[in-house]
Chain A
Amino acid sequence: MNIHLVDRRLNPKGKSLPNRQRFIRLAKQAIKDAVVRSIRERSLGDVESKEVVSIPMKRIAEPRLRHASHGGDRDQVMPGNKEFVRGDTLPKPKSGEGEKGSEGAPDGDGEDEFRFTISAEEYLDVLFEELELPDLAKAQLKDTAVLRYHRAGHSSSGSPSNLSLVRTMRHSLARRICLGRPKPADLAALDAEIAELEAKDQRDPEIKIRLEELLTARRQLHAKSRRVAYIDPVDLRYNRFETTPQPSAKAVMFCLMDVSGSMTESMKDLAKRFFLLLHLFLSRQYEHVDIVFIRHTSEAKEVDEDTFFNSRETGGTVVSSALAEMRRIVDARYPVDDWNIYAAQASDGDNYASDSQTCRQLLATDILPICQYFAYVEVYDPRQEEMFLSSLNVSELWKDYEAVRRPNFAMKRVFNKGDVFPVLHQLFAKTRKAA
């Protein structure tokens, strides 16, 4: 009997992946609830890490016809008797005490939960599942469209750098076998035999004749080797690539934020969460997402991310300056034809008295026509929630923006962390257009 040792360690991993996908599909609703719940509690840097979700056992139960854990007459044999003798009796634990615990909830109301970890990828899938980008149709195929290379089989001509070794050698081997090219081993054997004979007495006629034969055979084999090349030009195969034009997969996201003194830390935190989610969402749709941070007090400036969120400035508030700056940057760096442009503005709604009018005009004439989408989020301190919750009590800026009615413009108010995701969800929900 012979043992057969197989090394399977290099086999592809994730054999169980289809099972997992089916499981997640089944538990989707539960997972979604858990994910939305978790987004409220997550800290900022954490949006892309794994998530432990627990889902009620009931949804994923696998019932069987089996005996209940209690009831009836049961005998049991157990090991380790110490002092019992036949006929001893032991009181049963009172029901409702120890026994009940292991039984689980009797009618399924129990919080029996199944906990498991979903990967960051799965987490985001669920998170953004029902969102879609508005007006994706922007970047049409144009003359300047990006060309992308992709594999398209093999060809018999090409540049040496694309030589497909495996294919080439396969053809070469097939041809060598067909045409009967002598193997190096055969030649070596022949050489060895000749050497052996040459070492012997040359006068023996038998040896002489044999030697002659072998030498002729060797000459023939060598001739054949030369005729049938090891690698012939007909063997050569090259990887072939084709180019196809791709729609532009580039997007730029403008983050506009008011950093005047009236914005508190918690309001900025809300704004940051919103921008972060938006960025995550965009980067799943586009290969390349640029982010431009523009902050403004009474004048607007493009800054880096750190400054954007962390440094503080004082000053008045002129919102229109940010819009003007955005337009300037678009003109300078992001040709409208090549880029999908998104903008999100966060502000507490305070504005210099006469500026809101200007904002509205800028928005309507300069910004919205070039944007795929513009979202305005008004952030509030949680403590202001009661005061501003009513839709009557709104800021100046809100009033003026409300007058702008375009399909690619939307506005929402955010009061606390828990609102951020639902707001994003409402802004980008697939049903938005229908509603």
Chain B
Amino acid sequence: MSALLFETGEWNFDTLKRTYDAIEEIAVGEMGLDPYPNQIELISSEQMLDAYSSSGMPIFYHHWSFGKRFARDEAMYRKGYSGLAYEIVINSNPCISYIMEENTMTMQTLVMAHAAFGHNHFFKNNYLFKEQTDASGILDYLNFAKSYILRCEERHGISAVERILDAAHALMDQGVNRYGRKSRPSLAEERARAEARQKHASDQYNDLWRTLPTAVARPAGPGRIDTPRGAPQLPEENLLYFLEKFSPQLRDWERELLRIVRNIAQYFFPQRQTKVMNEGCATWVHYKIMNRLYDLGKISEGSMLEFLTSHTAVVFQPDFDDPRYSGMNPYALGFEMMCDIERIAANPTEEDRRYLPEIAGCGDALGALKDAWANYRDDSFIAQFLSPHLMRKMRLFKLENHAAENHYKIAAIHDERGYTEVRRALAAQYDPGSRDPNIQVTGAALAEDRRLQLTQQLHNDVPLDEREAKAVLGFIADLWGFDVELRGLGADAQLAFSYEIAGPRRGALAAA
């Protein structure tokens, strides 16, 4: 009997199961990966399109922008401009991977290794995901969000809900906490705490307390701020949080909508910061597993060739002067870096020992990789692990584009003088601090005219897209209910620009 897991491209549930077990044996048994339990769901291409439009999540609330995305994706797909992804994987516990029915068995093997073990391990172990997302609660939360928003639509009308969601979506990028916080207690812990509190109160109960006079309520006066949370702590960088808590005019359900959008933005935030690492990890893992399966004689040479074709297409990085170039391919960079770490751990050169003394020659490539996957995000990962060897291999160079000059300048290339500079510049490219505009609430005259002041610290004088910024400012004014001002401060705190929107435009959107 042949040891092959499957002989043809056709798949069925038996081969899937058998192959999954073989992959698991390698991934968990040999490589020691630590993923969430897996749930693999087979879907058709149409369902894949559906999933695309709702950020890949199985449950999502309804909004026209998802309909727009669906219309666009569908048109692109039907005309053959773009293919569909082979899989979608969700950071949840159990980890759900969607795989498409039209994949061949080789592709199913590849995507199971990639998604169900590579991404899955990353989700479970990376510190950002651990701190900022709740993998076991996300589906329940989305379910709640969906039904809550549906109820709001029934109650207050679709337009009213859309008005808030449109505004909230515009602020999604500014609706996240950039730094991890103390982990929130789970429902069970919360309940236990509430019970303990109550028990304490009833233990301490004494009827005499009732007879004591209560403090006289402080009279309302100037300077008193009427918000559920007291005075806001400024500056505040999470605009959605600020508006949810302190907007003087939002109703309760509207605040809840902002909160939902904010929580979802926070859930996706780690994915934006770990694109290179996440894809690099998954790609490296599937590459290892496929090769191992082949070495064990479990997949045929034909399958291996099919796999290699699609693998090389995924990790292809066009040069900067290639018409296909559209920035760094995160799969390519990530995969190269993982392979490079593996090489350095096993066969370091003199140079590697100088640049990366911690891992060079340590012999435990998997250990080094797992440590990197757990404790870094894209920018720190690149700053730490991009080796001169890889910079030479990819022939990286740094191009300076300064507004004041009428030419570009090659600031550094892949040579001894340039390694550090190129590495620093590439890391900065992935730093969310420089990628997203830094905008904070700096003033809210709650006790006076309630004018809201936002301030942007310009980074390298890169301006905001003015048209969009003004449109978003209109949204903020809608939510805030009073005048809003956005100032941009350049170097030396000098004023670079200032936009103002006077008052809200209630109903303006509904009429459009």
Q: Are B66 and A67 in contact (CB under 8 A)?
A: no
Given contacts A4-B38, A61-B471, A65-B472, contact A79 B394 (CB under 8 A): yes
- From the candidates B394, B403, B412, B437, name the one contacting A73 in the complex (CB within 8 A): B403
Q: Which residue of A is nearest B46, CB measured?
A: A13
- Name the interface residues of A90-121: CB closer than 8 Å to any CB of B: 90-92, 106-108, 114-117
- From the candidates B38, B66, B318, B463, name the one contacting A1 in the complex (CB within 8 A): B38
Q: Are B68 and A60 in contact (CB under 8 A)?
A: yes
Q: Are A1 and B413 in contact (CB under 8 A)?
A: no
- From the candidates B43, B47, B173, B403, name the one contacting A64 in the complex (CB within 8 A): B173
Given contacts A4-B39, A13-B46, contact A80 B321 (CB under 8 A): yes
Chain B residues contacting A5 (CB-CB under 8 Å) are: 13, 16-17, 20, 40-42
Q: Are B464 and A65 in contact (CB under 8 A)?
A: yes
With both chains docked as a complex, state the minimum distance between the C-beta of A84 and any C-beta of chain B, in angstroms: 5
The stretch of A20-28, A34-42, A147-155, A266-274 in contact with B is: A20-28
B37 on the A face (CB < 8 A): yes
With both chains docked as a complex, state the minimum distance between the C-beta of B11 and any C-beta of chain A, in angstroms: 11
With both chains docked as a complex, state the minimum distance between the C-beta of B288 and any C-beta of chain A, in angstroms: 19
Chain B residues contacting A106 (CB-CB under 8 Å) are: 467
Q: Are B464 and A1 in contact (CB under 8 A)?
A: no
Mark contacts of B385-416 with chain A using CB atoms, 8 A cut-off: 1 yes-contact digit, 0 otherwise: 00000000011111111111011111111110
Q: Which residue of B is nearest A53, CB measured?
A: B71
- From the candidates A7, A23, A64, A90, name the one contacting B68 in the complex (CB within 8 A): A23
Q: Are B466 and A68 in contact (CB under 8 A)?
A: yes
A62 on the B face (CB < 8 A): yes
Mark contacts of B152-167 with chain A using CB atoms, 8 A cut-off: 1 yes-contact digit, 0 otherwise: 0000001000100010
Give A76 to B424 CA distance when docked, in angstroms.
11
Q: Are A18 and B462 in contact (CB under 8 A)?
A: no
Q: Which residue of B is nearest A66, CB measured?
A: B465
- From the candidates B162, B428, B462, name the one contacting A68 in the complex (CB within 8 A): B462
B367 on the A face (CB < 8 A): no
With both chains docked as a complex, state the minimum distance between the C-beta of B477 and any C-beta of chain A, in angstroms: 13
Q: Are A18 and B62 in contact (CB under 8 A)?
A: yes
- Name the interface residues of B270-317: CB closer than 8 Å to any CB of A: 317
Q: Are A25 and B94 in contact (CB under 8 A)?
A: no
- From the candidates A4, A59, A71, A117, name the one contacting B40 in the complex (CB within 8 A): A4
- From the candidates A6, A61, A72, name the one contacting B41 in the complex (CB within 8 A): A6
Chain A residues contacting B166 (CB-CB under 8 Å) are: 62
Chain A residues contacting B98 (CB-CB under 8 Å) are: 8
Q: Which residue of B is nearest A85, CB measured?
A: B413
With both chains docked as a complex, state the minimum distance between the C-beta of A91 and any C-beta of chain B, in angstroms: 5
- From the candidates A77, A107, A117, name the one contacting B398 in the complex (CB within 8 A): A77
With both chains docked as a complex, state the minimum distance between the C-beta of A387 and any C-beta of chain B, in angstroms: 43
A78 on the B face (CB < 8 A): yes
Chain A residues contacting B71 (CB-CB under 8 Å) are: 20, 23, 114, 116-117
Q: Are A73 and B401 in contact (CB under 8 A)?
A: yes
With both chains docked as a complex, state the minimum distance between the C-beta of A56 and any C-beta of chain B, in angstroms: 12
A9 on the B face (CB < 8 A): yes
B505 on the A face (CB < 8 A): no
Q: Are B407 and A81 in contact (CB under 8 A)?
A: no
Q: Are A79 and B170 in contact (CB under 8 A)?
A: no
Chain A residues contacting B50 (CB-CB under 8 Å) are: 13-16
Q: Are A16 and B66 in contact (CB under 8 A)?
A: yes
Give A156 to B173 CA distance when docked, in angstroms.
60
B426 on the A face (CB < 8 A): yes
**What are the 5 tightest A-B residue pairs by CB atom distance, in nearest-first order?**
A80-B319, A23-B67, A72-B462, A19-B67, A116-B71
For this complex, 25 residue pairs linking A to B, each with C-beta atoms less than 8 Å apart, are A4-B94, A8-B41, A8-B47, A16-B67, A20-B70, A23-B66, A25-B158, A59-B512, A60-B68, A65-B170, A65-B173, A65-B469, A66-B468, A68-B462, A68-B466, A71-B462, A73-B400, A80-B320, A81-B413, A82-B321, A86-B418, A89-B407, A106-B467, A114-B72, A116-B75
